[in-house]
A = this chain, B = another copy of it.
Amino acid sequence: MTGHETEGNVQRGSFHVPGFRAAAAASGMRYKNRLDCALIVSDGPAAAAGVFTRNRFSAAPVILCKEHLAASRGTARAVLINAGIANACTGEEGLRRARLCAQHAASVLGIAPEQVLLASTGVIGPQLRLEPLESVLPGLVSALRPDGWLEAATAIMTTDTVPKTAWARAELGRTSVTCGGMAKGSGMIAPDMATMLAFVATDARVTSDVLRFWLGEAVARSFNRITVDGDTSTNDTVLVLASGAADHTIISDPTSSEGAAFGRVLTDVCLDLAHQIVRDGEGATKFVSVTVCGARNRERAARVAHTIATSPLVKTAVFGGDANWGRIVAAAGRAGVDFHPEGVSLYFDNVCIFRNGRPVEDDDVEEKASAVFRQKDIHVRLDLGEGAEEDTVYTCDFSYDYVKINADYRS
């Protein structure tokens, strides 16, 4: 990842969103000598919405976020994030500590506790250490500044190798608004450890309902396209806050032209962050888009695409630069979708290697396919030949380093 790639009009690097400030600090809770805490604060009450893990073992900060968003009727003033300890599987004591942590942040900021949202990432099991968090909070608050996002993005990393930010502008009627955010996560292969977190802010004036509507859509098309259905960690969290600092009439209809324009920019930012997570996947050396097209409906396409994109055999072949189409069609065949094999064709970029259920026998097709697999970015397209719907899932390869990172994680 170069850090300079973009998706459409989305930019990366430093940014600011009117109405928001961010900061980072080093608490020493688990990591030594590195930033491990981030704080995002809205100058006034912001509309807020969240999408959370569906794991039965939801972490304490996830439970707290849901409670606070309900109690505050979809508003929030601050988000406090720590890296190193996930505060997951920690029982009542974990939830008690999360509450104390939110209360402490609220008192330092002079706001109500339910206006504070929390997120944690790191090792499952240990209790959150409150003392280090509490001792850095005053410094965190005084360090808040409009362009603090990149530092905050650095603080929330665990096995990530680069901080991930994305931002874009959109015209809502005659008003230009900004939508910007940060994310952490080490690849779709392993969301149940990596913990995917994303925090997006905008100065658009939208109701909580509009925010919730478009966050659901944006996540479905971005973060949920880099993970298997339900394959979520104990801590996965996506939060979006809207300060309303922009000077336009409040958007209360998600399907109005302004509402749709807002949905697009939110989706663009989420999709860019999602791609960055895949590119920085644990041990990843390649980025693979898996599109399944020609499907009777989108659900069938998604199911086949997910099965291909999560197959260890496909991912190790991509790592080895081996255009092993047999593993791809075999993965498709076990996806639990009753397509007809004789209708299936497979493309690597624009090279057709498998057509109507049989390998293409041109002399140079293997060489062309191998050339595609030597690229850093690979587009796999499987046509089911049964309809007009499609879906795309993004994945990375499966390397020695994935094993190394995960065999040694806790030592």
Q: State whether B357 touches A316 (Cβ < 8 A).
A: no
Cβ-based interface call for A123 (8 A): yes
Q: State whether A56 touches B338 (Cβ < 8 A).
A: yes
Question: A399 vs B123: C-alpha distance in the bound complex, in angstroms?
Answer: 22
Question: A367 vs B190: C-alpha distance in the bound complex, in angstroms?
Answer: 26
Q: State whether B234 touches A333 (Cβ < 8 A).
A: yes
Cβ-based interface call for A348 (8 A): no
Cβ-based interface call for A255 (8 A): no
Q: State whether A403 touches B407 (Cβ < 8 A).
A: no
Counting chain B CB atoms within 10 Å of each CB, the highest count among A319, A326, A404, A411 belongs to: A326
Cβ-based interface call for A270 (8 A): no
Question: A145 vs B230: C-alpha distance in the bound complex, in angstroms?
Answer: 53
Q: State whether B404 touches A333 (Cβ < 8 A).
A: no
Q: In the complex, what residue of chain B is closest to A91 when comparing beta carbons?
A: B358
* Binary per-residue interface labels of chain A (59-93) against chain B in the complex, 1 for a CB within 8 Å, 0 otherwise: 00000000000000000000000000010111101
Cβ-based interface call for A193 (8 A): yes
Chain B hits for A190, CB < 8 A: 312-313
Task: Give 9 pairs: A residue, B residue, CB < 8 Å, sorted on A.
Answer: A55-B330, A89-B341, A89-B357, A91-B358, A192-B327, A312-B406, A316-B402, A316-B406, A320-B406
Question: Could you list which residues of chain A lie within 8 angstroms of chain B, going by C-beta atoms?
Answer: 54-57, 86, 88-91, 93, 123-125, 189-190, 192-193, 230-234, 311-313, 316-317, 319-320, 322, 324-327, 329-334, 336-342, 354, 357-359, 398-400, 402-404, 406-411
